[in-house]
């Protein structure tokens, strides 16, 4: 009953398009779409979706701590443990991240398969950390002790973003568009001869 079919990649085969952080603690993927307020309230709808997702993420992290060897309590959880958790999630990722030696490195839509690893997309991890950070404080954690706000976590996320944007040839600022050409280095304009400026 309380075995957790957590993070089973086979149960997420419907999510082929974009990356979703695979959070599936209760094993109830089915009827969480009881849409009562179908009209008008798009904001309350999306915020309760956020709340649900946040609760699921928090449960998943709790399970992760519970299964951790050696055992780890939330109060002893540091930024390093959060990084460990994020790396653990990578095995369920669906975003191809090319290594620099891959011929498709920097290619936004490679024409052929390659053996590069699949990872969690930066955007998924970034959103996940934001939710967990909020959940930590809502569950009584002190802001100054929030492991999800640790500097190491911020740096790691920035690193992942840079790495993935380079590997895939996409810029996270302009996701929908092709990568713009690099800015041209224009030579400085020639100086006018002395006395020519009137």
By the rule CB under 5 A, 114 interacts with Zn ion: yes
The contact pattern for Zn ion, residues 80-109, with x = CB under 5 A and - = no contact, is ------------------x---x-x-----
What is the maximal distance between C-alpha atoms in the chain? 89
Toward Zn ion, which CB reaches closer, 114 or 152? Answer: 114
Number of residues that bind Zn ion (CB under 5 A): 5
Toward Zn ion, which CB reaches closer, 116 or 163? Answer: 116
> What phi and psi values does residue 168 have, to the nearest 5 degrees?
-105, -5
CB of 122 to Zn ion, least distance (A): 17
For Zn ion, which stretch binds (CB under 5 A), given 35-43, 113-121, 137-145, 182-190?
113-121
Q: From the CB of residue 47, how many other CB atoms can be counted at a distance below 10 Å? A: 11
CB of 113 to Zn ion, least distance (A): 8
By the rule CB under 5 A, 116 interacts with Zn ion: yes
**Rounded distance between C-alpha atoms, residue 5 and residue 195, angstroms:** 80
CB of 179 to Zn ion, least distance (A): 17
By the rule CB under 5 A, 117 interacts with Zn ion: no
* Distance (Å) of CA 117 to CA 10, 154, 160: 17, 23, 14
For the chain, state the CA radius of gyration: 22
Toward Zn ion, which CB reaches closer, 37 or 114? Answer: 114
By the rule CB under 5 A, 54 interacts with Zn ion: no
Q: How is 81-146 classified by DSSP, letter by letter?
A: HHHHHHHHHGGG--EE---TTSTTTT-SS-SS---PPEE--HHHHHHHHHHHHHHHHHTT--GGG-
Positions that interact with Zn ion (CB under 5 A): 98, 102, 104, 114, 116
């Amino acid at each position: 009953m309380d075995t957790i079919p957590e993070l089973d990649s086979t149960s997420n085969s419907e999510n082929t398009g974009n990356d979703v952080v695979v959070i599936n603690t209760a094993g109830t993927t089915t009827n969480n779409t009881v849409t009562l307020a179908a009209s008008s309230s798009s904001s309350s709808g999306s915020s309760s979706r956020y709340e649900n997702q946040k609760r699921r993420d928090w449960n998943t992290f709790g399970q992760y701590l519970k299964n951790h060897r050696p055992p780890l309590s939330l109060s002893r959880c540091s930024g390093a443990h959060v990084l460990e958790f994020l790396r653990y999630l990578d095995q369920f990722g669906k975003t191809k991240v090319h290594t620099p030696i891959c011929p498709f490195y920097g290619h936004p839509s490679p024409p052929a398969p390659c053996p590069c690893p699949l990872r969690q997309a930066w955007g998924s991890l970034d959103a996940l950390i934001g939710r967990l950070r909020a959940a930590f404080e809502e569950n009584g954690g002190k802001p100054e002790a929030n492991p999800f706000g640790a500097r190491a976590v911020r740096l790691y996320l920035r690193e992942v973003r840079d790495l993935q944007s380079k590997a895939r040839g996409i810029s996270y600022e302009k996701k929908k568009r092709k990568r713009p050409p690099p800015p041209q280095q224009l030579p400085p304009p020639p100086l006018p001869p002395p006395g020519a400026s009137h």
